[in-house]
Amino acid sequence: MGTMEISNVLFAFGLTLFAGLSTGIGSALSLLTKQTNRRFLSVSLGFSAGVMIYVSFAEILVKANDALTASLGEKMGSWAAAGGFFFGILAIAIIDKFIPEAENPHEIHTVEEMDGQSEEHKTKLMRMGLFTALAIAIHNFPEGLATFTAALSDSKLGVPIAVAIAIHNIPEGIAVAVPVFYATGSRQKAFRLSFLSGLSEPVGALIGYILLYRFFSDTMFGFIFAAVAGIMVYISLDELLPSAREYGEHHLSIYGLVAGMVVMAVSLLLFL
């Protein structure tokens, strides 16, 4: 492995680490503020969805299709790209299916709603926090591989994707930290558990890279890239937009979505 390749791998891993550990930002925000800024979260989540949807269709799926048609021919390559896209959607949908609804990391929690709970409720809150942390860890695994693969193939593409994933991880940090804090009264425990749940993102990248590195070829890369596009579109439609709507008004999430698409489009055009 050459020096340039090692630096690319380290850069991609660094971006994935940043994206994963942003659960700690959500945790810190929820533990240091008396109120949840719902409007800001709504716009931010919409923005993140806009970035991820636009980049998936305008860039990632296109690159996947190019790689697969170059190695398999136009017809077979186009079918493989479409298959990879829907495989990514299926994979993340199956992961979501096995996460119990009550502990889903995208269940909305605010700082205000958790005050003054009974002991019995505190036990339930602790259980919710632990299961949410586990759910996030499982969920972030393919996200880590997605961020890492994108950054490895194109560093200019990796940065906006890492930022979008990081924004979407902030409310996940809140979802872990808030119930754990109100169950234990310990900011340190709540922050630690929330921060650790985000570690599965770089771990997912590392394990995925170790397992897939020897098989890396244009065909493998194209299929993984198509699956990454599917994963990101599913996350945006199934989680980010519904969460954005619940945190704020419907129009705020859509304004955020359009703003995310515009920023992503401009950033891609500037690098042409």
Give the residue ranges of the annotated binding site for Zn(2+). 143, 168, 172
Residues sharing a CB contact under 8 Å with residue 219, sequence separation 6 or more, in sequence order:
67, 68, 71, 72, 80
Nearest residue to 230 (alpha-carbon basis) of 79, 98, 75, 52: 52
Distance between CA atoms of residues 179 and 171, nearest Å: 13
Nearest residue to 14 (alpha-carbon basis) of 179, 213, 147: 147
Nearest residue to 176 (alpha-carbon basis) of 207, 144, 131: 131
Positions at the binding site: 140, 143, 168-169, 172, 201
DSSP H helices in 115-186: 119-153, 155-184
**In Å, what is the CA distance from 135 to each residue of 13, 180, 185, 262?**
22, 15, 22, 32
Positions at the binding site for Fe(2+): 140, 143, 169, 172, 201
Nearest residue to 228 (alpha-carbon basis) of 170, 176, 152, 168: 152
What single string gives the DSSP state of each residue in 18-68?
Answer: HHHHTHHHHHHHHHH-SS--HHHHHHHHHHHHHHHHHHIIIIIHHHHHHHH
